[in-house]
Amino acid sequence: MNAVTLVRAENVHKSFGLNEVLKGINLQVRRGEVVCLLGASGSGKSTFLRCINHLETLSNGRIWVGDQVIGYRQDGDRLYELSDKEAAGQRKSIGMVFQRFNLFPHMTVLENIIEGPVLVKKEKPAEAKRRASEMLARVGLEGREKSYPRQLSGGQQQRVAIARALAMEPELILFDEPTSALDPELVGEVLDVMKDLARSGLTMIVVTHEIGFAKEVADRVAFMHDGEIVEIGSPREVLETPRHERTKAFLSRVF
């Protein structure tokens, strides 16, 4: 793969039993690019994100991140699934932020953030703690190391989840509706952090219904319908002059 492209999904198919939910997704994401993924509920957005870090196997097709085929080892024409340990190794460089934060409730903010660096990347605890504090400051939560998730608002918990992802120094972060579970007044603080990350040059794929965010921050917007990307282009193209009927219908519902 060339130096410019970080993610390349080629003909990605995914079925659950007889239900084919991804029907041949093709997508390339450049380093430093922010791609927002829009689409109605059930169109396959989460499944596609989960395929990118091999939380799901593929039924067909292939995904590269950097020069690695995700989840599989290629031997001639055949693909062999990696072991859990090998897949976890690949996931080190791919962060994921979920709708429901997924922080460990019995651990402090600091413990949540250093867990990955210490256990997976074998960082020294002192160094991991130092960097965790840096990441907390980066998401606007300086000094909250000793708090427990339940002592924080949803917006703050989501920012901790972002700090936790950043602590692994990923080259790519996948966001799956990171603000959908938040009270409306807390959405802005999380989007502000994400805008900041986008400006810093991080490569991001963001599933979101926040059209304003997509308009302002995305380099490209992709619209998914029924397991396919039916339209992709600049925010202006896709959001202001959509060509596909499904995109038009979706946007008219959202606005």
Binding residues for ligand ADP, per CB under 6 A?
16, 21, 39, 41-47
Closer by beta carbon to ligand ADP, 3 or else 18? 18
Task: Report, in Å, the least distance between residue 58 CB and Mg ion.
Answer: 18
Do β-strands 5-16 and 60-65 pair in parallel, antiparallel, or remain unpaired? antiparallel
Closer by beta carbon to ligand ADP, 44 or else 235? 44
Closer by beta carbon to ligand ADP, 46 or else 133? 46
Using CB under 5 A as the binding rule, whether residue 208 contacts Mg ion is answered as no
Q: ∠135-48-68 over CA atoms, to 5°?
A: 70
Compute the distance between CA of residue 106 and CA of residue 217 in angstroms, rounded to an integer: 35
DSSP β-bridge partners for residue 14:
22
Task: Report, in Å, the least distance between residue 142 CB and ligand ADP.
Answer: 34
Task: Report, in Å, the least distance between residue 8 CB and ligand ADP.
Answer: 20
Closest CA to 68 of 36, 94, 45, 49: 94
Query: How far apart, in Å, are the Cα atoms of 162 and each of 50, 109, 158, 170, 185?
Result: 17, 12, 6, 11, 18
Compute the distance between CA of residue 154 and CA of residue 100 in angstroms, rounded to an integer: 9
Tell me which stretch binds Mg ion (CB under 5 A): 9-17, 42-50, 103-111, 186-194: 42-50
Query: In the complex, which residue's CB is closest to Mg ion?
Result: 46
Q: Binds 63, which of ligand ADP, Mg ion, none (CB < 5 to 8 A, cut-off by type)?
A: none
- Total chain residues near Mg ion (CB under 5 A): 1
Task: Report, in Å, the least distance between residue 48 CB and ligand ADP.
Answer: 7
Tell me which stretch binds Mg ion (CB under 5 A): 46-54, 108-116, 127-135, 211-219: 46-54
Using CB under 5 A as the binding rule, whether residue 46 contacts Mg ion is answered as yes
Closer by beta carbon to ligand ADP, 21 or else 136? 21
Query: How far apart, in Å, are the Cα atoms of 174 and each of 6, 34, 46, 47, 167?
Result: 13, 10, 10, 12, 14
Q: ∠15-63-47 over CA atoms, to 5°?
A: 40
Closer by beta carbon to Mg ion, 42 or else 125? 42
Closer by beta carbon to Mg ion, 72 or else 98? 98
Sign of CA dihedral 164, 166, 168, 173: positive
Compute the distance between CA of residue 39 and CA of residue 226 in angstroms, rounded to an integer: 9
Do β-strands 34-39 and 60-65 pair in parallel, antiparallel, or remain unpaired? unpaired
Task: Report, in Å, the least distance between residue 223 CB and ligand ADP.
Answer: 11
Residues of this chain that bind Mg ion (CB under 5 A): 46
